[in-house]
Structure 1
Amino acid sequence: MTTTSRPPTLDPNAVSRWQRIAPLASPWLHEEVASRMQDRLQWIKLKPQAWADWGALRGGMQAHAQLAKTYPDAACFIADVHAGRAQAASKIIAKPWWNPSQWRAAPVRFEMPPPASVDMLWANMALHESADPQALLAQWHQALKVDGFLMFSCLGPDTARELRALYARLGWPPAGHELTDMHDWGDMLVQTGFAEPVMDMERITLTYETPARLLQELAELGRNFHPARFPGLRGRAWKARLEQELAAQLTGSDGRLSLTFEVIYGHALKAKPKFKVSPLSAVSVEDMRRMLQGSAGPLG
């Protein structure tokens, strides 16, 4: 996959529309995934001097507050491509200047991190909603300092497999766009320039009292970006049929409906740049400075 290619079953116009209308809130599942991702930080010895929370509002406000406690002395960038979400996050995170807790707090900047400015980039449940994930990974790579690390999570291909099977049995268009496998994410990290990617996955089963509650949860989490999805809006009769089928096919012995979410976790480092040597090579001043800084011996 190149930086200009897109996942084959993802409509970029649908992605753009969802980014504009997504609820200005942190879904429960995103907060839960963020909590589980934070558990993995205990194995990371590097203490960031600066870090970025990419898509903090949708990624989880409770998670952001916990991370701020974990790294109280680190400057933080709140990065979001959507101005409405960035503004909503600032109202929750920013403290008034007259608040004493603000006087000694590390700075929080509501802007994109400049190149090579952060030691950690945290991106919870954002990657699977990108119309160009390889380009997004490149943005993250650019924002990190050398030896900085990326922590991210996203949904995997087994997500809502019960709903996908139901749509297929009924002969309906796909219930959702295809989601990327964790091994493919690992390959894309390497292609982008990250080193030592570590990927793992778990399946979380959520249960619901009614089909209506299940559909409400899905509406809060995202949309169907598949180009072959149902065109236009469905009517009340179709929705009633869907809820009837959900109750019949997804209800377990406990009387609740079950739905699977596959969650992928990823961690990778930004390694020192490697240069291919040829008879005539051009190296920028900035790249030369990084090479010299990484040298172990004295400079002659």
Structure 2
Amino acid sequence: MSVESTPSPERLPGIDPAASDRWQRLPHERSPWLHEEVASRMLERLQWFRQPPQSWVHWEPILGGLQAHAKLRAALPHARWRVASTQMARAQAATREPAPRSWLTWRRPEARAEDIAAPVQLVWANMALHGHPSPHRLLSQWRDWLAPEGFLLMSCLGPDSLGELRAVYRAMGWPAPAHEFMDMHDWGDLLVRAGFAEPVMDMERLTLTYGSAEALLAELREIGRNLASQRFGALRGRGWRARLIDALEAHGARDASGRLQLTFEIVYGHAVRVADRPRSSETSLSLDDVRAQLRARRG
């Protein structure tokens, strides 16, 4: 189920922008395993394009996957590349990119298109959009970085993600453990509204299993936080984690072998930036149109 039939161009419904910003600014030390796995599947999609890109930008490489970053460089050995991040120093250090060579040097999320020295042929954005409060602005920003006929490759969580966890929270009468995620059709619509053409969307479900509730929570802690605007608004007491673990062990979904399981719906998409249409220096009007305008002025 999608968040809404027509996604807002300004804000993703149900997400707290301040919580999203705090998550982005945390000093992430490594890339989540799930994000690396999704990125490896995205890499296979490079084969779909006739010509490999000669330049590319990796959005948020630490969360998007540092192993995937290295694989992408190996897959495109002759292409120029750069990283883009709200925390540029960390991203550059993690990818061993010398700061003076960077095309992108901003320190705020809403960077301008003129901050990039030259348009690129690929924007690579893995597992980022579902946690951004203003995805339309982010998509428009990526479009502005692209050269005509350049393309975006993206992935994010879809609405069936964390269904087992949401069921536990409902059973306990707790607020939702995460905001609602948009479906692939809404993302396709949003890509078009942001100025992309020919969006191709698909999805798959990955089910991960865990030997304990502790292991499940460790996975969740690595990939994100609860960004829902309707989440519990105060600090949890010391007994909260113990209650959560007990609830997961008692009510969590399990596979045939008894291991706890958690489903992630992964939405994939790619879209093209088409050349801007030049404005015509001439305007053609029919004789009937001219007569109608003259009659309107006289009236």
Q: What TM-score bracket applies, with the shorter chain setting the length? A: 0.7 to 0.9
Note if contact 1:137-1:192 (Cα within 8 Å) is conserved in structure 2: yes
Alignment of 1:38 with 2:51, yes or no, is: no
Pick which of 228-237 and 46-55 moved more. Answer: 228-237
Pick which of 150-159 and 240-249 moved more. Answer: 240-249
SS at match of 1:206: strand
1:12-37 per-position Cα deviation (integer Å, ceiling 9, x unaligned): 01011111115231110010000011
What is the aligned partner in structure 2 of residue 256 from structure 1? 259
What is the aligned partner in structure 2 of residue 212 from structure 1? 214
Give the TM-score normalised by structure 1. Answer: 0.83
SS at match of 1:216: helix
> Which residue, 61, 64, 71 being the options, matches 1:56?
61
What is the aligned partner in structure 1 of residue 152 from structure 2? 150
Alignment of 1:186 with 2:202, yes or no, is: no
Number of equivalences:
268
Give the Cα separation in 2 of the matches to 1:134 and 1:278: 31
Alpha-carbon offset, residue 11 of structure 1: 0.6
Note if contact 2:202-2:269 (Cα within 8 Å) is conserved in structure 1: yes
Q: Which AA in structure 1 matches 2:102? A: R
What is the aligned partner in structure 2 of residue 200 from structure 1? 202
Give the Cα separation in 1 of the matches to 2:241 and 2:60: 32
Q: 1:214 to 1:144 in 2, by over 3 A?
A: same
What is the aligned partner in structure 2 of residue 238 from structure 1? 240
Q: 1:274 to 1:132 in 2, by over 3 A?
A: same
Q: Which runs of 5+ in 1 are unaligned?
A: 95-106, 282-300
Alpha-carbon offset, residue 171 of structure 1: 1.2
Q: 1:202 to 1:22 in 2, by over 3 A?
A: farther
Give the Cα separation in 1 of the matches to 2:54 and 2:40: 22
What is the aligned partner in structure 2 of residue 265 from structure 1? 268
Note if contact 1:147-1:272 (Cα within 8 Å) is conserved in structure 2: yes
Note if contact 1:134-1:188 (Cα within 8 Å) is conserved in structure 2: yes
Give the Cα separation in 1 of the matches to 2:175 and 2:80: 46
What is the aligned partner in structure 2 of residue 293 from structure 1? none
Alpha-carbon offset, residue 111 of structure 1: 2.3
Give the Cα separation in 2 of the matches to 1:275 and 1:87: 37
Q: 1:233 to 1:84 in 2, by over 3 A?
A: farther
1:38-64 per-position Cα deviation (integer Å, ceiling 9, x unaligned): 111111112212111111111111111
Note if contact 1:49-1:74 (Cα within 8 Å) is conserved in structure 2: yes
SS at match of 2:244: helix
SS at match of 2:239: helix
Aligned residues with identical type, % of pairs: 51
Q: Which AA in structure 2 matches 1:222? A: G
Note if contact 2:172-2:247 (Cα within 8 Å) is conserved in structure 1: no
SS at match of 2:168: helix
Give the Cα separation in 2 of the matches to 1:180 and 1:166: 21
Q: 1:108 to 1:156 in 2, by over 3 A?
A: farther
What is the CA RMSD across the aligned residues, in angstroms? Answer: 2.3
SS at match of 1:76: strand
Q: Which AA in structure 1 matches 2:269? A: G
Note if contact 1:90-1:110 (Cα within 8 Å) is conserved in structure 2: no
Note if contact 2:12-2:132 (Cα within 8 Å) is conserved in structure 1: no
1:199-240 per-position Cα deviation (integer Å, ceiling 9, x unaligned): 000000000111011011101100111111012222232221
Give the Cα separation in 1 of the matches to 2:246 and 2:238: 12
What is the aligned partner in structure 1 of residue 22 from structure 2? 17
Q: Superposition pairs for residues 65-84 of structure 1, below 5 Å?
A: 65-84=70-89
1:116-147 per-position Cα deviation (integer Å, ceiling 9, x unaligned): 61011111111111111000000110000000
Q: Which AA in structure 1 matches 2:54? A: Q
Q: Which AA in structure 2 matches 1:8? A: P
